[in-house]
Amino acid sequence: MINGFHTIIYSDDPEATRAFFRHVLEWPAVDVGGGWLIFKTRPSELGVHPTQGPDGEQWGAIPTHRSSLMCDDIAATVDELRAKGVDVTGEIVDEGFGLTTTIAVPGAGEMMLYEPRHALAYELDD
């Protein structure tokens, strides 16, 4: 029935955002016309989180969707991204579910980068 998951990132500077994914992260893409790139993403997962934490802290509001980049070794990935000129905007923090930081995506704000400590859903057999 469903054969994929398409993510959209809105950008104030789409050319810079596309260049980041294409040249910095080195993700392959198809040009569907006029430089409009659709990127092949890596394995993905979908988590559903409550809008409030156990202590009542507001985690999000409806509708809210968030995309995160995952890695196997956050320290090494941060070093590699910094060497490519990426602005790592946060410290590496242990969030329990994994180690996280944030990176600046040109034209599109910040994205979480994290090294998960949980079982990976994308490794499940279909």
User: What is the tens place of the pLDDT at every residue in 15-70?
Assistant: 999 999 999 999 999 999 988 899 999 888 888 888 899 999 998 888 777 889 99
- Residue 14's nearest CA partner among 106, 112, 104, 111 is 106
Q: How far apart are CA 118 and CA 98, in angstroms?
A: 7
Query: How far apart, in whole angstroms, are the C-alpha atoms of residue 107 and residue 126?
Result: 36
pTM of structure: 0.84
- Classify burial at 78, counting beta carbons within 10 Å of its beta carbon; exposed 0-12, middle 13-18, buried 19 or more: buried
pLDDT, tens digit, 9 for 90 and up, residues 68-111: 999 999 999 999 999 999 999 999 999 999 999 999 999 999 99
